[in-house]
Amino acid sequence: MIIEEGRLIRERHGAQEMENYVAKLVSYEALDHMVALIQRVYDALPNKEVLFVDSYEDMKQDLDEGAKVIGIYGEDNQMIAYRYVSFPGIQERNLGRDVGLPEKDLEKVCQLETTVVDPPYRGNNLQYMTLSLMKPIVASEGYEHMACTISPYNYFSVNNIMRHGLKIKDLKRKYGTLPDNSDGIWRYILHGRIDREEVFTVDKMVNIPMMMIQKQKELLEAGFIGHKLHRDQSLDYVQYSSL
Ligand SMILES: CC(C)(COP(=O)(O)OP(=O)(O)OC[C@H]1O[C@@H](n2cnc3c(N)ncnc32)[C@H](O)[C@@H]1OP(=O)(O)O)[C@@H](O)C(=O)NCCC(=O)NCCS
């Protein structure tokens, strides 16, 4: 089902060209293209820790449980980008648990899984735009919360997600194989409302470099929330506020 059409910029051999795209709600038929695209994106990443590569089986299982995918396709019907969201319900993996949502709200959580954009098409705001397209679709089905994990080394992704009103509410190791996750990778847990931006009365504010994991953990444990990002010439910072 086509939900939007438009034009974007593609970078080829250092030159920029315009290309038509369509945004479509897709499903199982897109799985092979998603697997190929995420692998290509992963192979090109300088820091592999920022992207957890979902397998065909993981994504198929999510689709079996109702996950939704928006695919962006170019003029040759090639997949340029996708955003996929899942609905974990009361399962253990529901990130609503990490941010302290009451049990009754877990069924209303839409989990933002992976988004990838093919490198020649970066800079078209596709990560932000695909979430703008997804929000009304899931809101119309009664979902009220959005939650996701993002690496603290992924400035672009954290920034795009925070522009949708999600805030950093926890920082922990995830996706490990040991029961205590001590072999996992660092991830912010971000959460926000789908229908509105949460309003907080801010007390103290402090800027912490994204790479300073321990300090951020201490602040989050003390009740601070990560509100926005900023970067100067040398470092990326999160602005934390106490409430
Ligand atoms: C994160 C990601 C989806 C953002 O893609 P996007 O929507 O095209 O990004 P934006 O349009 O917001 O880009 C804004 C600017 O940042 C730049 N940028 C975006 N991602 C970048 C990256 N990974 N590395 C370097 N620069 C990047 C863009 O070129 C653009 O620069 P410009 O303003 O000079 O044109 C994309 O970088 C990506 O696929 N990364 C790998 C997978 C990933 O980390 N996914 C998110 C976690 S699931």
Region of 30 (left: φ > 0; alpha: ψ -120 to 50; beta: rest) is alpha
Q: How far is the CA of 155 from the centre of ligand 1 (A)?
A: 9
What contacts 136, CB < 8 A, 6 or more positions away? Answer: none
Question: What is residue 183's three-state secondary structure?
Answer: coil
Q: How far is the CA of 123 from the centre of ligand 1 (A)?
A: 6
pLDDT of residue 85: 98
pLDDT of residue 230: 92
Closest by Cα among 116, 115, 114, 112 to 96: 112
**Token pair for residue 10?**
């593609």
CA-closest residue to ligand 1 atom 41: 116
**Token pair for residue 22?**
């369509």
Task: Indicate which atom in ligand 1 lies nearest the CA of residue 112.
Answer: 48
Spans in the chain with pLDDT lower than 50: none
- CB neighbourhood size of 148 (10 A): 23
pLDDT of residue 14: 86
Backbone angles phi, psi at 113, to 5 degrees: -85, -140
Kindly report the pTM of this predicted structure.
0.95
pLDDT of residue 131: 98
Q: How far is the CA of 103 from the centre of ligand 1 (A)?
A: 34
Task: Indicate which atom in ligand 1 lies nearest the CA of residue 123.
Answer: 11
pLDDT of residue 12: 82
Contact indicator for 54, 95 with CB cutoff of 8 Å: no
End-to-end Cα, the chain, rounded Å: 43
Q: How far apart are CA 103 and CA 89, in angstroms?
A: 10
Q: How far is the CA of 157 from the centre of ligand 1 (A)?
A: 7
Closest by Cα among 172, 219, 166, 222 to 194: 166
Domains (range + CATH), the chain: 2-198 (3.40.630.30), 200-243 (no CATH)
Report residues whose beta carbon is within 6 angstroms of any ligand 1 atom.
Answer: 41, 45, 50-51, 114-117, 122-127, 150, 154, 156-157, 160
Longest dimension (CA), the chain: 52
pLDDT of residue 109: 98
pLDDT of residue 203: 83
Of the residues 80, 113, 122, which should be mutated to test ligand 1's pocket, given the most ligand atoms within 8 Å of the CB? 122
Question: What is residue 20's three-state secondary structure?
Answer: strand
Q: How far apart are CA 189 and CA 191, in angstroms?
A: 7
